[in-house]
Chains A and B, each alone.
Chain A
Amino acid sequence: EAGVAQSPRYKIIEKRQSVAFWCNPISGHATLYWYQQILGQGPKLLIQFQNNGVVDDSQLPKDRFSAERLKGVDSTLKIQPAKLEDSAVYLCASSGTVRGEAFFGQGTRLTVV
């Protein structure tokens, strides 16, 4: 079974530029998460989708971050404009069971310079 796919794996941009990340969850998984992980910390939830609807975006900096999952499958996360403090790994995960365990993609390592 294919896992969660993310791209790109790495991205370096200058501050104030924009960037987009893509995620394809495990087939059939209704729940999709985007997490931000800063070095030395646990993953922090940015946004959670249930099919194509947002169920939690309380920690998403909406002035610069946006995400969508238009057809309830793939998702994109965008940052515009980027700040130095956005340097982190952006992890996408999906879940499709009653217990709720999630499976992660390899992540996108973003460096803002």
Chain B
Amino acid sequence: RKEVEQDPGPFNVPEGATVAFNCTYSNSASQSFFWYRQDCRKEPKLLMSVYSSGNEDGRFTAQLNRASQYISLLIRDSKLSDSATYLCVVCQVQGAQKLVFGQGTRLTINP
């Protein structure tokens, strides 16, 4: 079983739609969680951290469910510019911090 699993997609949704991604992780000792965005031929960039209480940043909402070991990202009122790959990232602390990436979910917003 992969340490961090995501549905690779692709997700093709119309502009203005709401889209949600889930990610599951296997290590219950994981401590920090993030969503990164990666555009084609670019490096991953931090989109948002994910907190236990859930957090929102504009049209983006991230949720963490520690009991079920999954993380979600919700994008409302999607824009063409939201087209990218979204990477779920889990930080484990085993001595030193260790970042583990999912394979990414590819999203395309269609006009």
Contacts and interface: CB of A to CB of B under 8 A. Distances in A.
Contacts of B46: 101-103
A50 interface: yes
Interface in A18-67: 31, 33, 35, 40-45, 48, 50, 55-56
B43 A100 contact: no
Given A31-B97, A107-B43, A99 B49 contact: yes
Q: Which A-B residue pairs are the 8 nearest by beta carbons?
A: A100-B91, A42-B101, A104-B43, A55-B96, A42-B103, A100-B97, A99-B32, A43-B101
9 contacts: A31-B96, A42-B87, A42-B102, A45-B100, A99-B32, A100-B31, A100-B97, A100-B99, A109-B41
B101 A48 contact: no
Interface of A: 31, 33, 35, 40-45, 48, 50, 55-56, 91, 93, 95, 99-107, 109
Nearest to B44: A104
Given A42-B87, A43-B44, A91-B43, A102 B49 contact: no
Nearest to B106: A40
A9 to B, nearest CB: 11
A99 B97 CA distance: 9
B98 A48 contact: yes
A55 B95 contact: yes
